Structure 1
């Protein structure tokens, strides 16, 4: 009885290749089964696109010559004109020349629509007509703001020099000597573009 018997040796490398092939076959089978289960009735595979992360609304405060004053939730990219429209639009006595409807809104903005009968910002304690950029303002420009004298102007400049640029008007609350009342008075006259 002379038969030929072959002996196969299984090497560790061969075991790894077999294991990899088995795992690959299982993954492919799983993907195919998932695609078949997700298929729509007409046989097409339905892929669900990821949804955009929820956008946090901007909250702005609108006062003055508008239909109804108050807090309003707005979307990113909305403009002052959109906030005024949400507040019921301008009233008949609104001073339209002092409304920058094209300016983009930021969270926490206070939009005050002046009435024609209200004095212009230039006639109240020497306040500037244009908004003052807190990141570039000089001592003199800050002193021209309502309620800001040499001491507070220097405190604002020192804060900016020590901690860097302002990223929001609300950061004025971090300046020694400026509280919520002063901030509310300054808000229509300052900006952080």
Structure 2
């Protein structure tokens, strides 16, 4: 192989390594992209919502899913269906009667839950 081809191949490898390193650096640093910034903004309301209280007798499924740790949208919909079928919750512990909601989930959310 002539020297000029070796030089071109080495230069191409150097450029590829540099591009890969730059991509990795931008990924680790967050890149400053609008998409990354939008994700940070979208995360902020969820953190605020989880710190507040939620009335399990009046909240819709989306509100329950955002406000309660360990409760996703599907389980929140189950809570709303239970409430519609059996009436308002009279105690926080009554949440354990909803399939998939255990004592541990109730305990980690007890301070957030209101009934009135």
Q: Structure 1 length as normaliser, TM-score?
A: 0.34
Question: How do residues 1-193 of structure 1 correspond to structure 2 at under 5 angstroms?
Answer: 127-144=49-66, 145-193=68-116
- Runs ≥4 in structure 1, deviation > 4 angstroms? 122-127
The structure richer in helix per residue is 2
**Structure 1 residues 5-40: Cα deviation after superposition (integer angstroms, max 9, x where no partner):** xxxxxxxxxxxxxxxxxxxxxxxxxxxxxxxxxxxx
Q: C-alpha distance in 1, partners of 2:51/2:84?
A: 26
Contact 1:127/1:146 (8 A) holds in 2: no
- Offset of residue 164 of structure 1: 0.5
- Unaligned stretches of 5+ in structure 2? 1-43
Partners of 1:156 and 1:166 in 2: CA distance: 10
Q: Who wins on radius of gyration, i.e. which is larger?
A: 1
Gaps of 5+ in 1: 1-121
Q: Report how far residue 153 of structure 1 moved.
A: 0.3
Between Structure 1 and Structure 2, which shows a larger proportion of strand residues?
1
Distance 1:164 1:134 in 2: 11
RMSD: 2.1
In structure 2, how many angstroms separate the alpha carbons of the residues matched to 1:128 and 1:186? 9
Q: Deviations over 1:91-119 (max 9, x none)?
A: xxxxxxxxxxxxxxxxxxxxxxxxxxxxx
Residue 123 of structure 1 and its aligned partner are, at CA, apart by 8.4
Alpha-carbon distance between aligned partners in 1 of 2:47 and 2:99, rounded to the nearest angstrom = 22
Q: For this pair of structures, how many residues does the alignment match?
A: 72
How does the TM-score come out when normalised to structure 2?
Answer: 0.55
